[in-house]
Chains A and B, each alone.
Chain A
Amino acid sequence: MTVLAHGIGQSTDLPLPLDLVLQAGAATVVISFLGSALLWRRPRLSPATERRPRSIWWRRPLQIAVLTVSLYLTANALLGPRDESNPAAHALYVWLWVGLIPLSIAVGPAWRAMNPLRTLYRLLHLNRLARPDPPTIGPWVAVVALLGFAWLELVAPDRTDPLVIGSFLVGYAVVQLGFAARFGEAWFGRGDAFEVYSDLAGRLSPIRWRPWLSGLAVDHPAGLGRAAFLAVWWGSTIFDSASGSPAWAGFVQRTGHAAWLGTAGLLTVCGAVLLGVRRLAGKLGVTNSLIPIAAGYTLAHYLTLLLVEGPRGILLLAHQDPDWTMTPDPRLVSVLQVALILAGHAIGVLTAHDLALADAPPTRPPLATLADELPVVLFMIACTWAGLFLLFVR
Chain B
Amino acid sequence: MKRILAVAAAGLLAGCSRTPVAHAVWDCTSVAPGSTSVTTAVIEGRADPAPHRVAVPLNGTVRLQIDSDKVLQVHIHGYDMEYDAPGCVTFTADLAGLFDVEAHPDTLLLQLEVR
Contacts and interface: CB of A to CB of B under 8 A. Distances in A.
Interface of A: 3-4, 6-15, 83-85, 89-90, 93-94, 153-154, 159-160, 240, 244, 246-247, 249-250, 253-254, 302, 305, 309, 312, 321-322, 330, 394
B5 A7 contact: no
Given A3-B21, A246-B108, A305-B5, A12 B99 contact: yes
Nearest to B107: A253
Nearest to B115: A14
Interface residues of B, number: 44
B10 to A, nearest CB: 6
B72 interface: no
Given A90-B5, A309-B9, 7 more contacts: A10-B78, A11-B6, A83-B11, A159-B4, A249-B108, A253-B47, A322-B9
B82 to A, nearest CB: 12
Nearest to B20: A3
A305 B1 contact: yes
B15 A244 contact: no
25 contacts: A7-B78, A9-B9, A10-B9, A10-B77, A10-B99, A11-B78, A11-B95, A12-B2, A12-B3, A12-B97, A12-B111, A13-B97, A14-B97, A83-B11, A83-B15, A90-B5, A93-B5, A159-B4, A160-B5, A160-B7, A246-B52, A249-B107, A250-B47, A254-B46, A305-B5
A244 B79 CA distance: 19
Contact of A4 (B6, B53, B79): B79
Contacts of B19: 3
A186 B43 CA distance: 55
B94 A4 contact: yes
B50 A253 contact: yes
A-B pairs, top 9 by smallest CB distance, nearest first, are: A11-B97, A250-B50, A246-B51, A249-B108, A10-B6, A84-B12, A84-B8, A10-B77, A7-B78
B98 A11 contact: yes
Given A13-B98, A14-B115, A253-B47, A84 B80 contact: no
Nearest to B14: A84
B11 A10 contact: no
A199 to B, nearest CB: 23
A160 B50 CA distance: 26
Interface of B: 1-13, 15-16, 18-22, 45-47, 50-53, 77-80, 94-100, 107-108, 110-111, 113, 115
A322 B95 CA distance: 19
Nearest to B47: A253
Contacts of B111: 12, 246
B77 A7 contact: yes
Given A9-B6, A253-B50, A322-B12, A330 B115 contact: yes
B110 A9 contact: no
Instruction: Count chain A CB atoms within 10 A of each CB in B97, B98, B113 and give the residue with the most.
Output: B97
B96 to A, nearest CB: 5
B98 A14 contact: yes
Contacts of B79: 4, 7
Nearest to A304: B2
A6 B4 contact: no
B12 A153 contact: no
B5 A4 contact: no
B80 A7 contact: yes
A6 B11 CA distance: 12
A253 B107 CA distance: 8
A32 to B, nearest CB: 30
B51 A153 contact: no
A7 B50 contact: no
B99 A253 contact: no
A312 B9 contact: yes
Contacts of A153: 1
Contacts of A254: 46, 50
B37 to A, nearest CB: 19
A154 B5 contact: no
Contacts of A160: 4-5, 7-8
